[in-house]
């Protein structure tokens, strides 16, 4: 118990140091305009409503639960210019309360290359938090159905594998026949059916010969940057270790 308290205290101290550093870096011009002006006006409005947000980093590091705060953030979103500011605001708004957040996140994600989308976990999380009705599922599926989308939108892919496995299985079993084998392994562990578990077991004992064959496979092509990213760690030991871990995890989940 004491160890837990000590760890939690260190965690809080770390967050305070991070917050202090971010505040030091948050400097506004004497005559602000554009995003700087929008941020200051947004902070001023939040303060007038009784919220203790003195810096944008206070919002960035906070867990926002107030609808009133979310409404103010949404109001100023169109005036923001940088990607990081936009993503931060969207991740703080509950899309089930303000569904317009989905269109903002979707439009922002589409402005970037498939490789760039890999790092946009905040936007992906926002899109994956929606009510999974047919319309929303269709929008998400369109983002991952091609090899580049599948390779770059891992959070959305995982959400769909859990929600509509029947839609995702054909993609998983197609893309495992190439250098996207490693990201498909997570899919198989989610499905947990006999065929998927067999695939994990097979990959847990994959050979160098099979790895070389998959590297040469031409079933699909990837964006050049994505190809370079995935080919870097597409090796036997990496595949074996990941497959063995996920297989054990899937079997344990099924038996519990």
Q: Model confidence over 160-210: pLDDT tens digits? A: 999 999 999 999 999 999 999 999 999 999 999 999 999 999 999 999 999
CA dihedral 168, 173, 176, 182 (to 10 degrees): 50
The total domain count for the chain is: 1
Task: Please tell me the pTM assigned to this model.
Answer: 0.86
Does a structural domain hold residue 160?
no
Does a structural domain hold residue 67?
no
Does a structural domain hold residue 245?
yes
* Tens digits of pLDDT across the chain (256 residues): 555 556 655 655 665 676 677 777 777 777 889 999 999 999 999 999 999 999 999 999 899 999 999 999 999 999 999 999 999 999 999 999 999 999 999 999 999 999 999 999 999 999 999 889 999 999 999 999 999 999 999 999 999 999 999 999 999 999 999 999 999 999 999 999 999 999 999 999 999 999 999 999 999 999 999 999 999 999 999 999 999 999 999 998 888 7
What is the domain range of residue 206?
Answer: 165-256
Q: Give the integer Cα–Cα distance in Å for 170 and 173.
A: 5
CA dihedral 32, 37, 41, 44 (to 10 degrees): -40
Does a structural domain hold residue 242?
yes
Does a structural domain hold residue 11?
no
Q: Tokens 């597409």 sit at which residue?
A: 234
Does a structural domain hold residue 117?
no
Does a structural domain hold residue 250?
yes
Provide the b/e sequence for 111-120 (b: ≥16 CB within 10 Å).
Answer: eeebbebbeb
Does a structural domain hold residue 75?
no
Give residue 192's region: left, alpha or beta (phi > 0; psi -120 to 50).
left
The per-residue pLDDT for 4 is 57
């Amino acid at each position: 118990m004491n160890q837990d308290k000590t760890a939690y205290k260190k965690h809080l101290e770390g967050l305070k140091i991070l917050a202090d550093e971010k505040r030091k870096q948050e400097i506004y011009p004497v005559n602000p305009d554009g995003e700087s002006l929008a941020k200051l006006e947004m902070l001023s409005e939040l303060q007038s409503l009784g919220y203790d947000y003195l810096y944008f980093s206070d919002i960035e590091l906070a867990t926002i639960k107030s609808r009133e705060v979310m409404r103010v953030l949404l109001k100023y979103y169109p005036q923001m210019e940088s990607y990081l500011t936009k993503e931060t605001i969207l991740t703080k708004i509950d899309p089930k309360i303000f569904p317009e957040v989905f269109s903002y996140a979707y439009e922002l994600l589409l402005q970037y290359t498939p490789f760039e989308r890999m790092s946009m976990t905040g936007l992906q999380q926002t899109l994956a938090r929606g009510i999974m009705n047919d319309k929303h599922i269709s929008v998400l599926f369109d983002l991952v159905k091609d090899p580049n989308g599948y390779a770059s939108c891992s959070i959305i892919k995982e959400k769909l594998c859990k929600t509509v496995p029947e839609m995702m299985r054909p993609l998983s079993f197609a893309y495992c026949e190439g250098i996207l084998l490693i990201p498909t392994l997570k899919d198989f562990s989610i499905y947990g059916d006999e065929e998927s578990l067999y695939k994990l077991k097979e990959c847990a004992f994959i050979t160098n010969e099979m790895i070389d064959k998959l590297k040469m496979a031409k079933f699909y092509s990837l964006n050049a940057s994505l190809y370079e990213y995935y080919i870097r760690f597409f090796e036997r030991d990496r595949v074996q270790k990941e497959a063995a871990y996920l297989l054990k995890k899937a079997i344990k989940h099924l038996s519990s």
